[in-house]
Amino acid sequence: MIPSHLLVLFASILLSACASHQNAPKQAVPVPETDFTTETGITFSPAGWPQALQADLYLPESSQLRPTVLLVHGGGWERRSRADMAWIAERLASRGFAVMNIDYRFAPEHTFPAQLYDLQVAMNWLDHKADTYHLDREAISAFGFSSGAHLVSLMALVAESRHPLNQPHGGMHARPAAVVAGGLPSDLRAFGSGKLIRQFLGGEQESMPAVYQAASPITHITTGAPPFFLFHGAQDMLVPVSQAKEFRARLADHGVETELYLMYLRGHITSFLTAGNAVGKATEFLVRHTVKAPPVSQGTN
């Protein structure tokens, strides 16, 4: 009988080989590891916000301004918590990124655009606290999975397109320098009026088509959109992989840099649970777009 730990190792190796990376750079970016500290349970929502919202802040050791990532969990806009993303936060922080791992309000008690506003005030908090935590305001990215991917993508695109959803809580500080989106539902109109969509948006598509359109990231793409790294399970039955492929094609049509990392033999949940390699590629992507080269020391004669 094969020992269980060898079976796990074999499965991991097999799954890691079952992926394709479209528009990948020819060379990987070296990403050195570093130590980091964590501040937990920080309240980032403004006074008087409908619900107090917390975040964990991961701060790598660095003598330079820190590139930063806003990290947003999934859960169908109705459940789960930032704890799901802790392992990704640790991976990013160990490679030099400050990470703000946040919670947000849930449907059906809070309907769209409440969750988008929560992300925008989180970005506002990062902008306001940049000097305190030595963050690079010009290198703040966003990373989300599933409903979190939807929210970070929508936030990035409405900020660039100057859509009314970017007010009153957004602004250009709410535009990430780069976006990582895993298991992205990019076009909510394609899901009809399923329960999760219906309770998130507050009604049936037939009665509120403009809301379904406004809530769909794919409808807000412009030539000025930030670069996107997408990863998706090729066998995803909850959020079909066509959602990622069509979104990437629309970005490409607008000349926006984008990469797509397809994970074969994976569905929606398994593409998150086995996302180690995808997170590694996403980290390289974020390094390319947000990490500045260290200053060259000047020698003396």
Q: Average pLDDT by consecutive 10-residue portion of the chain (301 residues)?
A: 45 61 81 94 98 98 96 98 98 98 98 98 98 98 98 97 93 96 98 95 97 98 98 98 98 98 97 97 97 59 41
One-letter amino acid at 127 equals D
> Can you give the pLDDT at residue 178?
98
CATH number at residue 98: 3.40.50.1820
> Can you give the pLDDT at residue 14?
47
Give the number of domains in the chain: 1
Tell me if 19 is assigned to some domain.
Answer: no
174, 123 contact by CB (below 8 A): yes
Tell me if 108 is assigned to some domain.
Answer: yes
> Can you give the pLDDT at residue 13?
44
Torsion of CA 41, 45, 47, 51, to 10 degrees: -90
Distance, CA of 224 to chain centre: 18
99, 66 contact by CB (below 8 A): no
What tokens were used for 45?
A: 């929502």
> Can you give the pLDDT at residue 161?
85
> Can you give the pLDDT at residue 162?
84
226 phi/psi in degrees, rounded to 5? -70, 165
113, 150 contact by CB (below 8 A): no
Tell me if 250 is assigned to some domain.
Answer: yes
The DSSP secondary structure of the chain, one letter per residue, reads ---HHHHHHHHHHHHHHSEEEET--SSPPP-----EEEEEEEE-SPTT-SS--EEEEEEE--SSPEEEEEEE--STTTS--GGGGHHHHHHHHTTT-EEEEE----TTTS-TTHHHHHHHHHHHHHHHTHHHHTEEEEEEEEEEETHHHHHHHHHHHHHHHT-GGGTTT-SGGGS-SSEEEES----GGGGTT-HHHHHHHTS-GGG-HHHHHHT-GGGG--TTPPPEEEEEETT-SSS-THHHHHHHHHHHHTT--EEEEEETT--HHHHHHT-HHHHHHHHHHHHHHHPPPPPPPPP--
Tell me if 177 is assigned to some domain.
Answer: yes
Tell me if 48 is assigned to some domain.
Answer: yes
What tokens were used for 182?
A: 């895993």
C-alpha to C-alpha distances, 224 to 57, 209, 287, nearest whole angstrom:
29, 26, 20
91 phi/psi in degrees, rounded to 5? -60, -45
Tell me if 25 is assigned to some domain.
Answer: no
* Domain of 211, in residue numbers: 35-290
- Using alpha carbons, select from 196, 182, 207, 199 the residue that is nearest to residue 259: 182
Tell me if 298 is assigned to some domain.
Answer: no
Tell me if 226 is assigned to some domain.
Answer: yes
